[in-house]
Amino acid sequence: MGKFRGVDFYDVDSLLSEEERAVRDTVRSWIDERLMPIIGEHYVEGRFPKQLIPQMAELGLFGANLPEEYGCAGLNNVAYGLIMQELERGDSGVRSFASVQGALVMYPIYAFGSDEQKRRWLPRMAAGEVIGCFGLTEPDYGSNPGGMITVAKETKDGWMLNGAKMWITNGSTAQAAIVWAKTGALDDVNSIRGFIVPTDTKGFSAKDQKGKLSLRASDTSELVLQEVCVPKDALLPKSSGLKSPLMCLTQARYGIAWGAVGAAMACYDEAVSYAKNRLMFGRPIGGFQLQQARLAEMLTEITKAQLLCLQLGRLKDQGKATPQQVSLAKRNNVSIATDVARETRRLLGANGILAEYQAMRHLANLESVYTYEGTHDVHTLILGQEITGLNAFN
Amino acid sequence: MKIAVCIKRVPDSETRVKIAADGKSLDEAGVKFILNPYDEFAVEEALRLKEKAGTGEVVVIALGPPAAQETIRTALAMGADRGVLLQIQGLHPDGLETAKALAAELRDAACDLILFGKMAIDDYNHQVGPMVAELLDLPCVTTVAHLEIAGGKGTAEREIEGGVEVVEFPLPAVLTTDKGLNEPRYPALKGIMAAKKKPLDVKPTAPGPGALEILSLTPPPERQAGKIVGEGSAAVSELVRLLREEAKVL
Ligand SMILES: Cc1cc2nc3c(=O)[nH]c(=O)nc-3n(C[C@H](O)[C@H](O)[C@H](O)COP(=O)(O)OP(=O)(O)OC[C@H]3O[C@@H](n4cnc5c(N)ncnc54)[C@H](O)[C@@H]3O)c2cc1C
Ligand SMILES: Cc1cc2nc3c(=O)[nH]c(=O)nc-3n(C[C@H](O)[C@H](O)[C@H](O)COP(=O)(O)OP(=O)(O)OC[C@H]3O[C@@H](n4cnc5c(N)ncnc54)[C@H](O)[C@@H]3O)c2cc1C
């Protein structure tokens, strides 16, 4: 496989700074050289490529938009987005790993943690020495996390947690879990607080989710917390109510909007080269109008998604991006990426079903991405509420 | 240990280059430029030597257009301490003029080692390193594939036809680096941010006209489509006939 050269029909590159391009190019060649040769095999075997964690840390991929004083790269949000794009160009599982570590674990410690917690956890997480996971979803509460029934009761010298979390990325790999639990009555969403729970604490267990046909190169696990006792300083002091985990989701969704563009570009690139090289009826299939229509559609949607991300990133860097704008980008980009992956799969004929090619792997992955971090439907409702002022959730 | 590494901005080998309207230069529009891959080995080796010594300085020097600042910053992002751009306007001068400009910059720099890639992947000249050595009257070892520095002298291994040549040399010296010497690191993201803040001296340079003039550039002829003459042993006689009569290689 040659070097990936990206897709840039509108010279979007010229809107990036030299550092932003340098960051993108570094991650791009790392993915080319270190992930692409092994991802097909890992995917089929259902293994996250753990051996890459130290390299990812050394490159500075974890929490890359958090400040340098905590051992992070201190990048702007556009550069951060470009990292997510390039990681997901490789595989959504690898991007998920970095998203969880940075946006769902390091970010809440940074945003809601005490100085002591930040100093204790962030540098080791940036260095990949401590891997984290984010436990919000429960078996019976997915799109409606406010309904959660995991509880934390204050004890004499700390907190005791009880409950279960489901679909937790990095759950079996993590040394530390950010667990969201109600500290008050079950109908009180304002009592939701975040806790840093070391996964070797007594009563904590994680079980790998078996039988996944999507995100196979990613660890997805169920967490069970049975009378898990943690000290007082496990509580994230500035977390308060459902809006705290939702703020984390906004960070991660932002990265996903970029990541989806990466997956779409990988598929488009594959589609173009296949269309030019595959001869059928005596000519390249790229010479048939039907396939050209596919490719034209893909390029159009990718180009729109790129511009969407870039402007969203610039707004975020100015502190002006709203959660609803992030919802629009996540919703649109994941949806078009799924379409691009599916059309590429189809354009490749029978080859399109093989792990040797990328399209089917991306397509299967993107079905998870479509569902997690707020399903496509949920983002529709968020936008609907933003537009009309009317809540259609319940 | 003070080490200078001379680096060049070259078109990415994956880029399809077009010849400009003048017929003697490249059309740079849409071409991605990179740090010459052989120079990456030199930068990496310099960084490793400095890290091993625990002290020292790695200076990268490029002769090139203003945009070569970006190439220098790639090396700074990898970990080099500072950069110097001998800035020219227009096309690169020939090998000797390049070497003269670099030698002038290096003459009083008091380096222990001066490293080059063995060649630049755009013009394949293999010249500049040895020329600089000659101009500075320093020993020169080319195409180094393994290097040890200890006690004020160095030992280098060169892969030559059918074997390995081991060369011992005193410092200071000029070396050109070959593939296999090391595996260049990726510039870490923090390094990319730090590179912005490292010193980069831009020195306008006007090399002489040189003795070499490029008269024209032409792309290699388009490759003809291949032909499958058949399968199995039945095809052999036809293949032999074509190799004899059409390709005229038998
Ligand atoms: C691979 C993977 C990794 C994950 N990683 C994590 C993680 O690390 N941490 C974590 O906390 N969670 C994680 N999740 C969970 C994910 O966030 C949830 O799956 C998601 O929120 C949807 O919840 P659910 O699966 O329970 O679906 P449900 O909420 O049961 O939704 C089922 C369907 O109903 C629709 N629906 C729901 N409510 C409404 C409504 N009001 N109106 C109309 N339609 C509605 C949904 O759109 C969906 O189509 C992960 C999921 C996957 C698949
Ligand atoms: C799981 C599986 C099992 C199979 N089992 C069998 C089997 O038992 N026996 C058997 O004989 N075959 C079998 N096949 C092969 C199957 O029938 C072929 O894959 C199918 O005919 C498509 O051929 P192809 O894969 O070579 O794709 P191609 O013909 O290369 O097509 C590639 C793309 O180009 C498009 N295309 C092709 N021609 C044109 C055109 N003129 N205009 C516009 N678009 C065009 C196609 O629609 C497709 O999108 C199987 C395939 C699979 C995936």
pLDDT digits (tens, 9 = 90+) for A42-70: 999 999 999 999 999 999 999 999 999 99
A74 inside 8 A of chain B by CB: yes
Question: Which pLDDT score, from 0 to 100, does residue A356 have?
Answer: 95
Q: Which of B14, B32, B190 sits opposite A73 (nearest CB)?
A: B190
Q: Does residue B250 fall inside a structural domain?
A: yes
Asked if B194 and B250 sit in the same domain, the reply is no
Asked if B97 and B185 sit in the same domain, the reply is yes
Asked if B146 and B233 sit in the same domain, the reply is no
Q: Are B99 and B43 in contact (CB under 8 A)?
A: no
Residue A373 CA, closest ligand 1 atom number:
17
Ligand 2 centroid vs A353 CA: distance in angstroms? 11
Asked if B161 and B230 sit in the same domain, the reply is no
Q: Where are the domains of chain A?
A: 12-126, 132-234, 243-388
A102 inside 8 A of chain B by CB: no
- Reply yes or no on whether A68 is catalytic: no
Cβ distance B193 to A75 less than 8 Å, yes or no, reads yes
Cβ distance B189 to A73 less than 8 Å, yes or no, reads yes
- Express each pLDDT in A115-138 by its tens digit: 999 999 999 999 999 999 999 999
Question: Which pLDDT score, from 0 to 100, does residue A241 have?
Answer: 97
Nearest CA distance, A29 vs chain B (angstrom): 9
Asked if B61 and B122 sit in the same domain, the reply is yes
Mean pLDDT of chain B, nearest integer: 94
Q: Which two tokens stand for residue B248?
A: 């005229």
Mean pLDDT within B130-141: 98
Q: How far apart are CA A112 and CA A192, in angstroms?
A: 13
Asked if B230 and B117 sit in the same domain, the reply is no
Q: Does residue B175 fall inside a structural domain?
A: yes
Pairing of strands B82-87, B200-204: parallel
Q: Which of A283-292, B87-96, B110-119 has the lowest mean pLDDT?
A: B87-96
Alpha helices (H) in A150-286, listed in sequence order: 243-277
pLDDT value at B30 more than 90: no
Mean pLDDT within B223-239: 85
Asked if B136 and B235 sit in the same domain, the reply is no
Asked if B246 and B124 sit in the same domain, the reply is no
Confidence of residue B248 (pLDDT cuts 50, 70, 90): confident
pLDDT value at B16 more than 90: no
Question: Which pLDDT score, from 0 to 100, does residue A72 have?
Answer: 96
SS3 of A340, please?
Answer: helix
Would you say the C-alpha torsion B159, B165, B168, B169 has a positive or negative sign? negative
Mean pLDDT within A34-46: 97
CATH code, B181: 3.40.50.620
Q: Is the CB of A167 under 6 A from ligand 1?
A: yes
Closest to B60 in 3D by CA, of B175, B247, B199, B180: B199
pLDDT value at A1 more than 70: no
Asked if B149 and B235 sit in the same domain, the reply is no
Confidence of residue B90 (pLDDT cuts 50, 70, 90): confident
Would you say how long chain B is, in residues?
A: 250
Q: Are B39 and B102 in contact (CB under 8 A)?
A: no
Nearest CA distance, A54 vs chain B (angstrom): 12
Q: Are A82 and A23 in contact (CB under 8 A)?
A: yes
Cβ distance B189 to A30 less than 8 Å, yes or no, reads no
Residue type, A177: A
Nearest CA distance, B165 vs chain A (angstrom): 31
Cβ distance B189 to A68 less than 8 Å, yes or no, reads no
Q: Are B53 and B1 in contact (CB under 8 A)?
A: yes
Beta bridge partners of B202: B85
Asked if B135 and B180 sit in the same domain, the reply is yes
Ligand 1 centroid vs B214 CA: distance in angstroms? 64
Q: How far apart are CA A277 and CA B116, in angstroms?
A: 40
A75 inside 8 A of chain B by CB: yes
Cβ distance B14 to A75 less than 8 Å, yes or no, reads no
Q: Does residue B215 fall inside a structural domain?
A: no
Closest to A286 in 3D by CA, of A358, A277, A340: A277
Task: Please state the domain count of chain B.
Answer: 2
Q: Does residue B102 fall inside a structural domain?
A: yes
Percentage of chain A lying above the pLDDT 90 cut: 99
Closest to A263 in 3D by CA, of A292, A290, A298, A311: A298
Tell me the C-alpha to C-alpha distance, in Å, between residue B212 and each of B97, B205, B217: 10, 18, 14
Q: Does residue B214 fall inside a structural domain?
A: no
Percentage of chain A lying above the pLDDT 70 cut: 100
Question: Which pLDDT score, from 0 to 100, does residue B13 have?
Answer: 81
> One of A20, A86, A88, A373 is an active-site residue; which one?
A373
Q: Does residue B210 fall inside a structural domain?
A: no
What is the residue range of B245's domain?
220-250
CATH code of domain A132-234: 2.40.110.10
Asked if B179 and B239 sit in the same domain, the reply is no
Best of A100, A137, A242 for a ligand 1 pocket test (most atoms within 8 Å of beta carbon): A137
Beta bridge partners of A194: A180
Task: For B15, name the nearest residue in chain A, comparing CA atoms only.
Answer: A5
Mean pLDDT within A161-170: 98
Mean pLDDT of chain A, nearest integer: 97
Ligand 2 centroid vs A350 CA: distance in angstroms? 6
pLDDT value at B77 more than 80: yes
Q: Are B6 and B132 in contact (CB under 8 A)?
A: yes
Q: Which helix (H) or strand (E) holds B153?
A: strand B153-160
Residue A143 CA, closest ligand 1 atom number:
29
Q: What CATH superfamily is the domain A12-126?
A: Acyl-CoA dehydrogenase/oxidase, N-terminal domain (1.10.540.10)
Asked if B26 and B133 sit in the same domain, the reply is yes
- Express each pLDDT in A141-160 by its tens digit: 999 999 999 999 999 999 99
- Express each pLDDT in A184-238 by its tens digit: 999 999 999 999 999 999 999 999 999 999 999 999 999 999 999 999 999 999 9
Residues 6+ apart with CB under 8 A from A378: A143
Please name the residue that has the structure tokens 């040189």: B210
A18 inside 8 A of chain B by CB: yes
CATH code of domain A243-388: 1.20.140.10
Question: Which pLDDT score, from 0 to 100, does residue B91 have?
Answer: 84
pLDDT value at A95 more than 90: yes
pLDDT value at B221 more than 90: no
ipTM of this model?
0.87
Nearest CA distance, A346 vs chain B (angstrom): 28
Q: How far apart are CA A81 and CA A68, in angstroms?
A: 18
Question: Which pLDDT score, from 0 to 100, does residue B78 have?
Answer: 97
